[in-house]
Amino acid sequence: MAAQPLRRMPQISAPVLFNSTRIFSLYSRQLLLPAVSAALPAINLNIPAWLGGIWESILRAVPKKKTSHSKKRHRQMAGKALKDIKLCNCPACGQPKRQHVVCANCLSSKIPHPTSPPKIRPDEPR
């Protein structure tokens, strides 16, 4: 059964075949499982033979040695320190507040809380 799809493949010269075994395996899988390639068109990889060397180098782009513990810790801990909060005193009430942020004390005294009932003045007509 596996020989029948291989007969349908185009003729490939021996050096290209050995250099691009990955391409050969992807192409043969595509012929053996046509339903999967029809259902998922993103898996359908038709890579030309002249891209074989480039494709193999991309697939083998992995680190040569294991990253040491100290290098991992240095990378994880570097540049992620908490930033200092810049505080100043509010010019209106004198309470400490963050720079470039509205003072919460002044804001709560100016704007009523949304859950409190609205204040009705007795001199206002209804």
Task: Mark whether 55 and 99 lie in a shared domain.
Answer: no
If you average pLDDT over residues 76-97, what whole number do you get? Answer: 88
If you average pLDDT over residues 68-96, what whole number do you get? Answer: 89
Q: Are 32 and 3 in contact (CB under 8 A)?
A: no
Q: Dihedral angle at the C-alpha atoms of 25, 26, 32, 33, nearest 10 degrees?
A: 150
Question: Is 7 part of any domain?
Answer: yes
Number of domains in the chain: 2
Domain coverage including residue 90: 85-115
Please, what is the average pLDDT of the chain? 71
With bands split at pLDDT 50, 70 and 90, how would you rate the model's confidence at 79?
confident
Q: Does the predicted TM-score (pTM) go above 0.75?
A: no
From the list 110, 23, 7, the residue with the least C-alpha distance to 59 is 23
